[in-house]
Every structure is written in C-alpha cells, then in structure tokens.
C-alpha cells in the first residue's frame, strides 16, 4: 500500500475523492497518465498495487465521493493500460460490478459509466465476466433512477456489440441465467430480456433455437403483459423463432410441446392464439415426433374449438383435422387409452362444438383401432350412455353412431340395449325427450328387426310393470309412425302368410302385452283382426282408464294416416273383412260418445258401403245396424285374404291365438294387481297425513256431462254410462 501511495501523488488522491466532478475527472486523467507510464515500463506489480488502492480505499469506502472517485480511477487505469488491461481485469471489473447495487444512485450511475469505458478498451476480453455483467444490467434496467437506467442502456448496447463480434461467448453458460431471469415480471426487465434474446438469435454462430425450450415459456408469459410494447416484442421474437423452426431440419418438439399445451389453456386470449398457432405448425412439422403428446395436445385443442375468439376456433379446427389425419401405431408410443380419457372428459364440456369433436375422435379411434378401444369400453360406456341425454340432436346422433359401431359384436349389442333400457327406466325424461330419436337411429344403424326383437326380449321380463307399459307404448308408436321402420311394418303385415313376419309378431307379442292398446295396434298392423277383436272383448273395467283412452285416441288418429290406408281400403269390402269391422266397432264402443275420437271413428265407419254384402247378409241385418248379424259370426274367422273360414281352434299359420290371449290376460292381471296395490298405498299414506285422497287412476275425468265409471258394478265391454 505504501508503494502505491509513493507512486500516486497525494494531491491526485485528494482530488479523486473531491465532491466536485471536475476535480475528480482531472485527478482521473492524471491517474491514467501514471498507469500508462507504469505499463510502458512493464511494472505490473505496481499497477496491481495501484488498482488495489483504488478498490480498498475508494470503491469500498463508506464515503460516496470516494466511491465515485474510485470508479472513475478504475476506468482511467484501464484506459492507461490499453492493450495490457486484460491481465488486470480480475482486479478491475468485480469492484465495479459490486457498485451496481450501491444505495447511492449517483454511484450506480458512475459504475455504469466506468464499466462502459472499461468495456470499450478490453472488448472481447470482457466476455469472461458476461454472466455477472448481464445479471447486473438486468437489475439496473429496472432501476428507480432514470439517469441510471439511461446509463445502463448505453452500457447494454455496447455489451451487445461486443458479444455479437466475439467468438468466446458461451451460450451454454448463459442459458441457465437467462432461464432464471425469464420469470421476472418487471416490464423493464422483460424488455431487457427480449432484447437480448433477439440479439443473440441474430448471431449466426449462436444456436438460440437449440435452447428455445429453456426460455420459451417465459416468452409466452410475456404475451399477457399489460404493456402493449412488451407483448409486441415477445410476439415478434416468437414469430422469428417459429419461422426458424419451419426452416430447421432438426427440432426438439417434445419439450416445447409440453410448454405449448400449458399455454394453450391460458386465460389470456392472445397467449392462447399464439400457442394454438405454434401447436398447429408443430403438428404439421413434427407429426410422428409428437405422437407421445397427442393426448395432451388434444386436451387443449378440443376446448379451443369452442373458443369465443373466432381466430382461435379456426386454428384449433385446422389443428384438430391435422392431428386426426395422422395414423399412428398403437404398438409404438400412441396411447389410445389416454386419448379416450381426454375425449371422455370433453364430453362433459358445456360447449356443443367441443362435445361433437370429442365424439368424432372416438368414432375415428373405433374405426382405426377397434380392438384397442374395446379394451377401454368400460371406461367410456357410461359416459356415452349419459351423452344420450345431451341437449344437442347432433351430439345424440353421433353418440348413437358410436354405440352402433360398438354394438357390431353380439355381446356388445346386448349390453347396449340392456343399458339403454336401464337408462330409460331411471330417467323417464330421457325416454320422453330422446326416446324416439334414439330408437329410430339405432334401427337405421343396427337393423330395425334386430333392435325391436332385443328390446322385446328385455321388456318381456321387466320387473317394473309401469315402466314396461310406458316403454312398450313408446316403441309401438315409433313402430307405427317412423319412416325408418317401414320395412318392419311391411313384414308384420305379412304375418299370416310369411314365416318371418309370424316369427316377428310372436317375438313382439310377449312384451306388447304390457299395453292393451299396443297389442291391438300390433294386431291391426299384422291384419290379425279377429285377435284384435278378442283382445278388445277381454278388457275389463279396470283396464279402461284415462291412460288407456289417451292411447286409444292416438290409435284412432293414426287410423286416418297413410300408414293404415290399407285398413281403410279393406273397409270397402266389409263382407270379406268382418273381423276388422267388428274390431273397429269394439274400439268405438269403448270411446266416450262426446270425445273427438268417437266422432272420428264413427264417421269413418258410416262410410262403409252396404253393397259389398251378399243378399243373405243384408236380409239378415237387423234394422238400425246393417252389420249386426255379420258381427255375430264369432264362430268363424278370416284368413289373410279375407275369406270366412270355420274356426279351427284359434290356430292360424302356426300361431295359437288362444294361448296368446291367455298370455295377454295374465299380464293385464299383473298390471291390475299392481294398480290396486299402488292405490291402497296412496290411500294409506293419505290417511296418515289426513289429506284428501287423490283421484284413483282408473277414473275417467268428467267433461260435458260424462260421469266417471262406477266401481260398484262391472259392466260389459263398452257399456259406458254416457
């Protein structure tokens, strides 16, 4: 230290710590000359002592003016050393960097000025301190003092120039520091970081693209910054990197894919759009490399398809199509189960477009990887059944397409129908809202006869009789009205002459027994008019309730539709179709005279021509009803062509109608017993709660003078008190 004091005049040291800048500046100039003389004589030992003096006595001094003078002195010493300064940088630079965190803003300002002058002298030799300098500049970029910020910006530009022209810069050592700083939220620091990323990326010898995954997330994070300028700078940098990726032969898509998936779910709209755009390009470029990430990518693409921003929706749809077009091999890294899990979750999305695309994916997987998908059937089956209650018709139709594809196997077909009936049972609203659509679509996709046979088999043994009745009535209405079931109706019409039609009739009969009106409709459809009349005659008082009359009203209306045109045409030959006439009159007798259905059917029957009867039939007709004698032919039956034949024990075309009628009556007895049990339960509950009992289910609502049926007396069929 004494040697250093001997070299430097006391006046220079005194002026170096003066409060006036001009004196400190002049002292620094003298200091520069002294160091230059020492350097020319090669006395580096004394130079080291002088630098040590400046550091310990000035830069680390508690006095601010001393610290300012010390910084100016270090810069002057570097200028004096010129080309020989590199060997003393280990002494010169650390004290200056330490001053960047000084509490006095003027000291921080002079530190920037000093390091600027040092860097100008040493240039490339300065690179060994780059990380420390970068870290210091990063902090100074957000300095509270404007002058310090300006000085830091000047130093920053110089350092950038030095780095771009240096061949000693180590990007590998710099990236960890950059990655750490990318999480800073300060806008000034963010601008500083984006600036450095852009500059380093412009240097041909520096491969920033190879390290992009290390700071990509930070750049995406800046897209949601409140500052428009920062968002613009980050977007510009990302666009440049994306263009480089397109032109690069080898890119590490995997690490970046994970980042993009996270950012595609960002609440910020601009971030989502940018992330989806990147994913779109990655899917096009990476293809097979992205197979392990298909499920994750799909998990963010599907929600974006329903994004409120149109640009995001467009890119998401394009990406979705690109992704679906790639045919991967499950034997490798393609995880069918993971994708099914994603689509299953997206079926609960509130957005229809997302649910639709999720179903398209399941359908695609079924077509390509059927065996693998069926392995996960238990995981998705319940969700697919639940989707049948969706508010969107398009969703329901797609679900049915998938169910039909799954049900190509007999075991899966049976499972589908069983679960479908179960869902209808536990959710009657599903049957009301979607029942017709579901059944009709399945009939188109899986063969109507097969579907109806399976449904009939299940309903035949249904323990819930009320549900079975409702379900059969729904199936019957679909059978009678749906254009998709026209072939099935045609087959049933041939039941008396066609073995296939007879077999179908018998198959449906057992479950149709749950509903009297369904059985009558089935018999009319199959042209088994004598049995329809017998079923009508077998009905008792308890069967003819309000629900029955509602169903009967529907049937009378259907008789006027094109589906039953053949029945109306057969009425042109009442002598040939006596049992048809009797069946219709039986239905007429069950209807209240004031009802519109009664008037409609009576009007139709009045149009039946008398001329088709032979002379004997007309002579035997009693006054007031020309068909009364004809309707008494209970001992004869009509074959399919309408010819009257003798009774042969109710056996036609292999169908034992007597046995079928017993089957129907037995089923109706079970329904009556259930109704009585339910009525008694309601009465007991009402008695306990002291509340007036509700109207019994067998009573018919009164209107325009109609009185309810009497429980005390059991009248014959159709003997209403009108």
Return the domain boundaries, the chain.
Answer: 1-169, 185-251, 515-609+656-675
pTM for this one? 0.76
Secondary structure (3-state) at 73: helix
CA–CA separation, 372 and 84 (whole Å) = 73
Give the tens place of pLDDT for each residue, 143-166.
999 999 999 999 999 999 999 998
pLDDT of 705 above 60: no
What pLDDT score does 621 carry? 41
The structure tokens 């910054």 sit at: 225
Q: 410-426 and 465-481 are packed helices; what angle lies between their axes, rounded to 10 degrees?
A: 110
CATH topology of domain 1-169: 1.25.10
Per-residue pLDDT, 276 = 96
Residue 297 contacts residue 323 (beta carbons within 8 Å): yes
Residue 655 confidence (pLDDT): 83
Which residue did the predictor score with more confidence, 428 or 634?
428
Structure tokens at 508: 């449906």
The closest of 587, 553, 519, 570 to 701, measured between CA atoms, is 553
| pLDDT over threshold 50, residue 647 | no
Residue 620 has pLDDT above 50, yes or no: no
Which residues neighbour 181 within 8 Å (Cβ) at sequence distance 6 or greater?
135, 138, 189, 193
Query: DSSP state, 625?
Result: B
* pLDDT reported for residue 689: 62
Q: What is the pLDDT of residue 331?
A: 66
pLDDT number for residue 589: 93
DSSP single-letter state for residue 563: G
Q: Of 284-293, 406-415, 549-558, which gets the smallest average pLDDT? A: 284-293
Distant-in-sequence, close-in-space partners of 98: CB < 8 Å, separation ≥ 6: 59, 60
Pairing verdict, β 655-656 and 651-652? antiparallel
Q: What is the mean pLDDT of residues 329-334?
A: 73
What share of the chain has pLDDT > 90, as a percent?
Answer: 60
Rounded Cα distance, 418 and 424, in Å = 10
List the one residue out of 137, 222, 211 whose CA is nearest residue 179: 211
Over residues 600-621, the mean pLDDT reads 70
pLDDT at position 690 is 53
Cβ count near 428 (within 10 Å): 14
**pLDDT class for 168, splitting at 50, 70, 90?**
confident
Q: Which residues, including other chains, have CB under 8 Å from residue 569's CB and lie 6 or more apart?
A: none
Q: pLDDT band at residue 665, thresholds of 50, 70 and 90?
A: very high
User: Does the pLDDT of residue 202 top 80, yes or no?
Assistant: yes
- The token duo for 701 is 């609502």
What confidence tens digit (pLDDT) does each residue in 80-134 have? Answer: 888 888 888 999 999 999 999 999 999 999 999 999 999 999 988 889 999 999 9
Q: Is the pLDDT assigned to residue 218 strictly greater than 80?
A: yes
Q: In 369-512, which ranges are continuous DSSP H helix?
A: 370-375, 377-386, 393-406, 410-426, 428-446, 448-460, 465-481, 486-493, 499-512
pLDDT reported for residue 701: 41
Write out pLDDT tens, residues 355-377.
999 999 999 999 999 988 998 98
Give the tens place of pLDDT for each residue, 40-96: 888 888 888 888 988 998 999 999 999 999 999 999 999 988 888 888 899 999 999
- Per the prediction, the chain carries an average pLDDT of 85
Rg (Cα) of the chain, in Å, rounded?
47
d(CA 156, CA 159): 5
The 10 Å Cβ neighbour count of residue 583 is 26
pLDDT in tens, 498-557: 899 999 999 999 999 999 999 999 999 999 999 999 999 998 887 888 888 999 999 999
Are 530 and 539 in contact by the 8 Å Cβ rule? The answer is no
pLDDT for the residue 613? 54
Band (pLDDT 50/70/90 cuts) for residue 691 is very low
The pLDDT confidence band at residue 715, using thresholds 50, 70 and 90, is very low
pLDDT at 470 over 80: yes
Average pLDDT of the residues in 240-246: 93
Distance CA 455, CA 439 (A): 10
CA gap 351, 313 in Å, rounded:
12
Cβ count near 672 (within 10 Å)? 15
Residue range 661-685: mean pLDDT, rounded = 88
In order of 310, 435, 585, the CA distances from 602 in angstroms are 61, 33, 8
- Please report the pLDDT score of residue 234 as a whole number: 95
β-pairing, 636-638 vs 644-646, is antiparallel
> What is the pLDDT, as a whole number, of residue 250?
83
CA 101, 104, 106: angle at the middle one, nearest 5? 105
What pLDDT score was predicted for residue 628? 43
Task: Identify the three-state secondary structure at position 646.
Answer: strand
Calculate mean pLDDT across residues 403-428: 90
Higher pLDDT, 638 or 272: 272
Two tokens at 202?
């412009």
- 655 beta partners: 652
- 197-206, 325-334, 457-466, 618-627, range with the lowest pLDDT: 618-627
């Amino acid at each position: 230290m004494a040697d250093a004091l001997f070299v430097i005049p006391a006046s220079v040291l005194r002026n170096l710590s003066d409060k006036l800048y001009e004196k400190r500046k002049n002292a620094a100039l003298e200091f520069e000359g002294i160091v230059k003389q020492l350097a020319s004589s090669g006395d580096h030992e004394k130079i080291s002592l002088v630098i040590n003096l400046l550091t310990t006595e000035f830069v680390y001094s508690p006095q601010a003016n001393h610290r300012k003078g010390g910084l100016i002195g270090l810069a002057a010493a570097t200028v004096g050393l010129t080309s020989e300064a590199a060997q003393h940088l280990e002494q010169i630079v650390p004290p200056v960097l330490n001053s960047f965190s000084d509490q006095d803003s003027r000291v921080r300002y002079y530190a920037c000025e000093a390091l600027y002058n040092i860097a100008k002298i040493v240039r490339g030799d300065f690179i060994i301190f780059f990380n420390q300098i970068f870290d210091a500049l990063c902090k100074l970029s957000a300095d509270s003092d404007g002058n310090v910020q300006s000085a830091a910006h000047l130093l920053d530009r110089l350092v950038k120039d030095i780095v771009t022209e240096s061949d000693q810069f180590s990007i590998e050592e710099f990236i960890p520091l950059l990655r750490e700083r990318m999480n800073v939220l300060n806008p000034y620091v963010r601008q500083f970081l984006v600036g450095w990323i852009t500059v380093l990326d412009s240097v041909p010898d520096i491969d920033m693209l190879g390290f992009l995954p290390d700071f990509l997330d930070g750049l995406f994070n800046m897209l949601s910054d409140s500052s428009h300028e920062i968002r613009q700078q980050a977007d510009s940098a990302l666009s440049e990197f994306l263009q480089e990726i397109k032109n690069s032969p080898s890119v590490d898509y995997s690490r970046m894919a994970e980042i993009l998936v996270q950012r595609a779910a960002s609440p910020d709209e601009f971030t989502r759009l940018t992330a989806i755009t990147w994913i779109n390009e990655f899917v096009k470029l990476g293809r097979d490399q992205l197979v392990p990430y298909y499920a994750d990518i799909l998990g963010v693409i599907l929600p974006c398809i329903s994004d409120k921003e149109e640009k995001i929706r467009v890119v998401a749809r394009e990406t979705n199509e690109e992704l679906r077009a790639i045919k991967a091999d499950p034997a490798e890294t393609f995880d069918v189960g993971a994708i099914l899990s994603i689509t299953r979750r997206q079926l609960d999305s509130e957005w229809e477009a997302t649910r639709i695309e999720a179903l398209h994916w399941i359908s695609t997987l079924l077509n390509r990887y059927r065996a693998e998908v069926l392995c996960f059937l238990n995981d998705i089956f319940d969700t697919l059944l639940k989707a049948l209650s969706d508010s969107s018709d398009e969703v329901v139709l797609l679900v049915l397409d998938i169910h039909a594809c799954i049900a190509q196997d007999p075991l899966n077909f049976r499972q589908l129908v069983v679960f479908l009936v179960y869902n209808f049972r536990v959710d009657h609203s599903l049957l009301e809202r979607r029942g017709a659509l579901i059944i009709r679509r399945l009939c188109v996709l899986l063969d109507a006869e097969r579907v109806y046979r399976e449904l009939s088999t299940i309903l035949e043994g249904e323990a819930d009789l009320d549900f079975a009745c409702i379900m059969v009535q729904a199936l019957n209405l679909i059978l009678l009205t749906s254009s998709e079931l026209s072939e099935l109706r045609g087959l049933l019409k041939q039941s008396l002459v066609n073995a296939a039609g007879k077999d179908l009739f018998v198959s449906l009969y057992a479950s149709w027994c749950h509903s009297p009106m369904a059985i009558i409709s089935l018999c009319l459809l199959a042209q088994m008019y004598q049995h329809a009349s017998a079923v009508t005659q077998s009905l008792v008082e308890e069967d003819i309730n309000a629900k029955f009359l509602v169903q009967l009203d529907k049937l009378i209306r259907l008789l006027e539709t094109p589906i039953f045109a053949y029945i109306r045409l057969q009425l042109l030959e009442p002598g040939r179709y006596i049992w048809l006439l009797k069946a219709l009159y039986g239905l007429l007798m069950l209807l209240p005279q004031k009802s519109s259905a009664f008037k409609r059917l009576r009007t139709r029957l009045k149009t039946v021509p008398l001329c088709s009867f032979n002379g004997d039939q007309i002579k035997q007709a009693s006054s007031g009803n020309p068909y009364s004698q004809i309707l008494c032919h209970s001992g004869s039956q009509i074959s399919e062509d309408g010819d009257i034949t003798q009774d042969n024990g109710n056996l036609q075309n292999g169908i034992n109608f007597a046995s079928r009628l017993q089957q129907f009556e037995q089923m109706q007895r079970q329904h009556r017993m259930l109704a009585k049990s339910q009525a008694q339960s309601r009465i007991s509950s009402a008695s306990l709660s002291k509340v007036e009992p509700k109207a019994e289910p067998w009573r018919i609502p009164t209107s325009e003078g109609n009185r309810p049926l009497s429980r005390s007396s059991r009248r014959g069929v159709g003997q209403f008190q009108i």
